Amino acid sequence: MDQAERLFREYHPTLVRYLTRRLGDRDWAEEIAQETFVRALRQETIVNERSWVFAVAHNLVRDGARRDARNRRHLELLAAEERDAHVPDVESTLEAAQERARERGAARKALDALSEKDRQALLLKEEGLDYGEIAAILEIEKSSVGTTLSRARKRLAEAYEAQQDQRRGGSHVAS
Amino acid sequence: MSHPDEGLIHAWLDGELDAEEAARVERLVAEDAAWAAAAAEARGLIAASARILSHLDSVPGDVLPKDSRSGGGVAGVAATPVTRGASKGFTVQPWMRLAAGFVLVAGVGYVAKGALAGPQDAPIVAAEESAVAMSAPETTGPSADRAVADVAAPTPVATGKVGARVDAPAASQAVAAKATAPSVAQAEVATGTVAKSLDSIAARERSLAEASAVQANATQSAERLALSSAVITAAPAAPEARREAMRAVGGAATSGLSMRSSMAALADASTRLAGCWQTTGATASDSLLVNPLVLRSAGDTLVIAISAKPDSALVRVQSSTTYSGTVIDANGRRVAFSMTRVVCPARP
């Protein structure tokens, strides 16, 4: 296996997951990931592969933030529905898709409730990056990563729970 | 009793403390009730965070094209946490630069081909990619180095997918010139999965452009075009374009997606819904729905796009002039929805 293929195999799954979580759009995530690996092909030397890959993807997303994130989230929801669709049993599939969409919507809102730094730190940590790598990508002190993650995890859980409470209240009214 | 340092506890649980510091925190957690409680809470938060974030994973598996999974490496990587400190550097060989140039040329060629087929919507690709494509025959020389000089990590410049329109004949010439290079076949094989994935992007852009052109003919509503590529793909008059676009929306690994939908059923449903409908119950929807787009169809159960947000609704036939069901709104909630056929208002 050559180096380029090895790099792709080793980091593509985690990078796409990180980007999908961050962007809320699988197709967009794939685009950014592909661009990241194309740049890796062009790069002469990469000292720390994992940090490099995530840093490039991080910067690509940052620089491309002008895109309409809201529409892309809708696209992701619709794309997920299409992937899950089974024509012979469209209703049950829709019910399941709706439930997944609700969970996804609550998680997305909870994640959006975090500050940018907290959100990025949390997503990077979830992909296995260590405190040193996270600090380098986000350009913060390594000693502050623990506090950042502590705050991020707490706010995420609280925001998600608030979403769930709100949803339960909304369901009650609707029924 | 000391006040627990939550950041320190999280760092401890994340395995980021050195042995001495970890031992100190471990003692505090064992001996101090406040620290013990804080550690328990932190464990819960870490687990909860992972669980919440997992809801955002629309496609946890089947990430790579099938060919690249045959080696077994992908599944292993996907299931195994990334090893910390993986830092094997690698140096790009000349053929790798050539390969990168080739896959970009192939992508531009795909898009340029689509531009020739669809005069109204010339495909748009990044200016940077077209620049690289034009210099592809020299990718092993100094020009290639200059062409890629602006992409040095870790502060890359985003290219996006919008930018200069490609001059189709010029792009075709670039492809033709590239085809005469002796190392192309070798480079294509060497790039393996990267090339396949990049091709899927080019194919996606081409198919979306084709679907957009068809949709423009099928409906005069500009708002419909703004919905999303997923909605655009529902245009029943273009089975091939729709199939391509659906595959693109679903990702490279869902090539069988198109088989799940019945083109005939969609076309039939679209015909049944042609005209104007008064809608009620969905706050995000317009009160008047004109020629609703059918996203999916199974008998009398339809999934339709109902607004430019875009939102969609699951509806069933109640009578020949009434459908009712639910809406998945922007927040993923279900809202009761109904639509009744009305006479289209006269245009001013």
The answer to whether A101 contacts B53, with C-beta atoms less than 8 Å apart, is: no
Scan residues 32-71 of B and list those with Cβ closer than 8 Å to A.
Answer: 42, 44-46, 48-50, 52-53, 55-60, 63-64, 68, 71
Decide which of B271 and B136 is more confident. B271
Looking at residue B133, its pLDDT comes to: 30
The answer to whether A75 contacts B68, with C-beta atoms less than 8 Å apart, is: no
In this structure, the answer to whether residues A170 and A112 fall within a common structural domain is yes
- The pLDDT of A20-44, averaged and rounded, is 85
Residue A13 placed within a domain: yes
Q: How far apart are CA B293 and CA B304, in angstroms?
A: 5
* Token representation of residue A16: 């796409």
Residue A116 pLDDT exceeds 80: yes
Triad A102, A103, A107: Cα angle to 5° = 115
Residue A88 placed within a domain: no
**Using an 8 Å Cβ cutoff, are A21 and A123 in contact?**
yes
- Closest in B49, B81, B84 to A122, CB measured: B49
- The pLDDT of B273-290, averaged and rounded, is 72
Residue A57 placed within a domain: yes
In this structure, the answer to whether residues A112 and A167 fall within a common structural domain is yes
Residue A91 placed within a domain: no
Mean pLDDT of chain A: 81
Residue B330 pLDDT class (50, 70, 90 cuts): low
Scan residues 144-163 of A and list those with Cβ closer than 8 Å to B.
Answer: 144-150, 152-154, 156-157, 160
Residue A93 placed within a domain: no
Q: Does B264 touch chain A (CB under 8 A)?
A: no
Residue B41 pLDDT exceeds 80: yes
The answer to whether A4 contacts B297, with C-beta atoms less than 8 Å apart, is: no
Give this prediction's pTM.
0.42
Nearest CA in chain B to A173: B335
Residue A25 placed within a domain: yes
Q: How far apart are CA A138 and CA A140, in angstroms?
A: 6
Closest Cα of chain B to A124: distance in Å?
A: 12
Q: Which of these ranges, A74-83, B3-12, B112-121, B283-292, has the smallest mean pLDDT?
A: B112-121
Decide which of B58 and B257 is more confident. B58
Closest Cα of chain A to B59: distance in Å?
A: 8
- Residue B138: strand pairing partners: none
Decide which of A99 and A73 is more confident. A99
A151-164 CB burial, b ≥16 within 10 A, e <16: bbbbbbbebbeebe
Residue A92 pLDDT class (50, 70, 90 cuts): low
Residue B120's nearest CA partner among B165, B173, B171 is B165
Residue A127's domain is classified under what CATH number? 1.10.10.10
Q: How far apart are CA B312 and CA B320, in angstroms?
A: 21
Residue A95 placed within a domain: no
Q: Does A173 touch chain B (CB under 8 A)?
A: no
Q: Does B142 touch chain A (CB under 8 A)?
A: no
In this structure, the answer to whether residues A57 and A111 fall within a common structural domain is no
Looking at residue B6, its pLDDT comes to: 94
Looking at residue A63, its pLDDT comes to: 75
In this structure, the answer to whether residues A57 and A116 fall within a common structural domain is no
Residue A139 placed within a domain: yes
Which candidate in A12, A28, A42 is best for mutational testing of the B interface (most B CBs within 10 A)? A42
Chain A residues with CB inside 8 Å of B71's CB? Answer: 1, 9
The answer to whether B190 contacts A91, with C-beta atoms less than 8 Å apart, is: no
Residue reference for tokens 């480079």: B187
Domain that holds residue A140: 106-174
Q: Give the contacts of B183 (CB within 8 A, at least 6 positions apart).
A: B95, B98
Q: Does A116 touch chain B (CB under 8 A)?
A: no
Closest Cα of chain B to A89: distance in Å?
A: 8
Decide which of B325 and B118 is more confident. B325
**Using an 8 Å Cβ cutoff, are A146 and A135 in contact?**
no
Q: How far apart are CA B227 and CA B221, in angstroms?
A: 11
* Token representation of residue A112: 């959006």
CA distances from A62 to A57, A59, B37, B83 (A): 9, 5, 38, 26
> How many domains is chain A partitioned into structurally?
2
